[in-house]
Amino acid sequence: MKDDRGLYYYPFPSNKRVRMYVRQDSEDIQFRMWNQDDPTLWEAHAWVPYSAIVQAQAMYKGTGFDPHRAYDMNLARTLLKEQA
């Protein structure tokens, strides 16, 4: 899907109030979360390269926010490919 912020998917499909935006720069696919219930989230957090997400996934201990679930590289690649 696409809106004025760019390409996005729903990282938590049952919650349409949260979107994960994706873009491709010259080096990496990048992600940025938007939450309708937290308007400051978009401004407070910049685009995150997938290489940094891989590092976060390695540190994930199974509690709280699950980066494996939220940052879907396969879905991001598909969105970017469809746009090209």
> Could you tell me whether strands 29-35 and 18-24 are parallel, antiparallel, or unpaired per DSSP bridges?
antiparallel
- Quickly count: other Cβ atoms within 10 Å of residue 41's Cβ: 14
Compute the Cα dihedral for 10, 12, 16, 19 and give only its sign. Answer: negative
For the chain, what are the domain ranges?
2-83
Tell me the whole-structure pTM to 2 decimals. Answer: 0.90
pLDDT in tens, 4-35: 999 999 999 999 999 999 999 988 999 999 99
Nearest to 5 by CA among 28, 27, 35, 29: 35
